[in-house]
Amino acid sequence: MAAIDKLKTTAAAPRKRAAAPPASDADAADKGESLSSIARVFAILGAIGDSGQIGISELSQRLSLSKTTVHRVLQTLRALGYVTQEVETER
C-alpha cells in the first residue's frame, strides 16, 4: 500500500450519537489510553488544518510523534473520510 504523504482536511457532516451506556471499571481503566489516542488524532487534524497540506515527516516532527503513529492515524482518518490523499504524488 502506498504511504500517505500530503493530505488535506475534508468537511464531514456531523453524526448523531446514541446515548452511551454507563461506564464500567474496565472502561475507566482504558479511559487514559483512549484520551491520549483522541488527543493525537485532534493534534494531527489541527496541524493539517493549520498547514493545509503537510507530509508525514513534518507532522511527525511538529507533533513529536513517530512516523508510524502518524501514518496509522492518517490511514484511519482517510478511511473515515476526514482527510484525503494528494492524488498527484500517490503517497
Q: What pLDDT does residue 41 have?
A: 95
Q: What pLDDT does residue 17 have?
A: 60
Q: How would residue 2 be classed by pLDDT, with cut points 50, 70 and 90?
A: very low
Q: How many CA atoms lie within 13 A of 11 on its CB side?
A: 1
- CB-based contacts of 6: which residues, under 8 Å, 6+ apart? 53, 54, 55, 85, 86, 89, 91
pTM (two decimals): 0.63
pLDDT in tens, 8-20: 544 455 556 666 6
pLDDT in tens, 43-64: 999 999 998 888 999 999 999 9
